């Protein structure tokens, strides 16, 4: 397979954390993010096709860290483009439902496939990771947007 287009890669791309009222630190991190484009299967100049990989992780530590249950780690994308023609489509093929974690988890992604059809002008993507705890704590991080 011939690869083309934009690629980005790094160690730790972004991390953020909060401390809840009981002194537990909730951290979410994205690392080793890469996005690369390939020639679209429909060969249209109005289409972009890409693959994404990397690691998203959550770590909860503190006096009550072992009591965290039902924490969800969600991985997603914000996709933007200038103009959408009639019938414009954005599709992503995700790795599955968000995992439920206790105090620590990491998800390695590879080959997550997406495409945009019938869009004119530049197309940009911004991956994100979000952690929501069962008691309402929420942390969201974004990797810098990239033009596809």
Domains and CATH numbers, the chain: 12-147 (2.60.40.1650)
Whole-angstrom distance, CA of residue 100 vs CA of residue 73: 7
Vertex 96: Cα angle to 91 and 98 (nearest 5): 110
| Segment 104-145, tens digit of pLDDT | 788 888 888 888 888 888 888 888 888 888 777 888 888 888
Closest alpha carbon to 133 in 55, 67, 80: 67
Helix (H, G, I), strand (E, B) or coil at 114: strand
Helices and strands in the chain, H and E counts = 0, 8
22, two tokens? 């009981």
Those residues with Cβ within 8 angstroms of residue 20's Cβ, 6 or more apart along the chain or in another chain? 26, 62, 133, 135, 137
Query: What is the chain's mean pLDDT, rounded?
Result: 81
Low-confidence ranges of the chain (pLDDT < 50): 1-10
pLDDT of residue 39: 94
> What does R_g of the chain's alpha carbons equal in angstroms?
17
pLDDT of residue 99: 66
Those residues with Cβ within 8 angstroms of residue 59's Cβ, 6 or more apart along the chain or in another chain? 25, 26, 27, 29, 103, 104
pLDDT of residue 94: 65
């Amino acid at each position: 397979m011939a690869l083309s287009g934009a690629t980005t890669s790094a160690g730790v791309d972004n991390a953020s954390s909060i401390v809840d009222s009981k002194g537990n630190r909730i951290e979410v991190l994205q690392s080793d993010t890469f996005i690369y484009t390939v020639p679209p299967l429909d060969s249209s100049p109005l289409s972009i096709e890409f693959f994404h990989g990397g690691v998203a992780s959550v770590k909860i530590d503190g006096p009550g860290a072992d009591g965290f249950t039902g924490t969800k780690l969600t991985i997603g994308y914000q996709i933007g483009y200038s103009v959408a023609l009639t019938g414009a489509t954005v599709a992503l093929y995700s790795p599955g439902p968000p995992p439920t974690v206790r105090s620590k988890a990491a998800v390695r992604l590879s080959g997550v496939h997406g495409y945009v059809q019938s869009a004119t002008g530049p197309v940009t993507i911004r991956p994100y990771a979000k952690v929501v705890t069962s008691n309402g704590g929420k942390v969201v991080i974004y990797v810098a947007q990239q033009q596809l």
